[in-house]
């Protein structure tokens, strides 16, 4: 499940792969629309209510993964 999520995040961020320690701001495609897409992904595929405010606090891929999977 975690690998699958990492793959989906990689696709959204348009990179070959993401690693959990990557800083979100280091991605070229990291912007408000990408954030919105991750919120939509959390909701539709994982039934998790992620908010913009929460996402603003997140620093790394790990923060997103921890929230969505746990």
Binding site for another protein (CB under 8 A): 11-12, 14, 32-34, 36-37, 40, 49, 51-53
Q: How far is the CB of 29 from another protein (least distance, A)?
A: 8
Q: How far is the CB of 57 from another protein (least distance, A)?
A: 15
The total of other beta-carbon atoms located within 10 Å of residue 39's CB is 17
d(CA 61, CA 65): 6
Q: How far is the CB of 14 from another protein (least distance, A)?
A: 7
Closest to another protein by CB, 50 vs 61, is 50
């Amino acid at each position: 499940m975690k690998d699958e999520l990492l793959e989906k995040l990689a696709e959204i961020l348009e990179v070959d792969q993401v690693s959990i320690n990557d800083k979100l701001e280091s991605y070229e495609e990291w912007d408000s629309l990408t954030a919105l897409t991750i919120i939509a992904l959390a909701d539709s595929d994982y039934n998790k209510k992620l908010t913009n405010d929460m996402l603003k606090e997140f620093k790394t891929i790990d923060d997103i993964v921890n929230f969505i999977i746990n």
